[in-house]
């Protein structure tokens, strides 16, 4: 079954198979998934993917995900959700304020 995604998909419908199919060129099978801070989660199996997904759905139940194979390794998976973007911006701003103090 071809699962190439050409448009965003609801996070709750996203599978590890979607990630592998759409980002199969990633070396060593490690996929970088974004977190609401400035870091990410590296997954290389379905169990670690499901753990990340479960945490994300609890905080962002209406989020969508876009897979962009040609982006840099840290930007291939994009979470599309206003609350997620807001949380990321607050984290980055707080971190910047802390480091400049």
Greater model confidence, 28 or 13: 13
Other Cβ atoms closer than 10 A to 14:
22
Q: What is the pLDDT of residues 30-81, one digit of tens each?
A: 899 999 987 889 999 999 999 999 999 999 999 999 999 888 888 899 999 9
Residue-number span of the structural domain to which 76 is assigned: 9-100
Domain count, the chain: 1
For the entire predicted model, the pTM comes to 0.83
| Size (the chain), residues | 101
3 domain residue, yes or no: no
Q: Is residue 63 part of a domain?
A: yes
Cα torsion 66, 3, 15, 30 to 10°: value is -70
Q: What pLDDT score was predicted for residue 94?
A: 73
Within-domain flag for 47: yes
13 pLDDT higher than 80: yes
The predicted structure's pLDDT at residue 23:
87
Task: Name the more confident of 84 and 27.
Answer: 84
Q: Taking the CA atoms of 29, 49, 38 and 23 in sequence, report the sign of the dihedral they define.
A: positive
- 28 pLDDT exceeds 70? no
Has residue 50 been placed in a domain?
A: yes
| Res 101 pLDDT > 70 | no
Residue 87 forms part of a structural domain: yes
39 occurs within a structural domain: yes
Please report which helix (H) or strand (E) contains residue 9, including its range: strand 9-10
Two tokens, residue 31: 């996929």
Distance of alpha carbon 56 from alpha carbon 37, whole angstroms:
12
- Give pLDDT, residue 54: 98
Q: Is 2 domain-assigned?
A: no
The residue whose two tokens read 């876009």 is: 66
The 3-state DSSP class for residue 24 equals coil
């Amino acid at each position: 079954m071809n699962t190439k995604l050409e448009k965003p998909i609801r996070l709750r419908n996203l599978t590890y198979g979607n990630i592998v199919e759409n980002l199969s060129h990633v070396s060593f099978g490690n996929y970088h998934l974004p977190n609401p801070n400035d870091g990410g989660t590296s997954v290389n199996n379905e169990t670690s993917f499901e753990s990340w997904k479960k945490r994300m759905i609890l905080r962002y139940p209406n989020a969508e995900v876009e897979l962009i194979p040609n982006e840099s390794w840290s930007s291939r998976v994009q979470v599309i959700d206003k609350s997620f973007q807001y949380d990321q911006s607050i984290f980055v701003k707080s971190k910047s304020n802390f480091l400049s103090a």
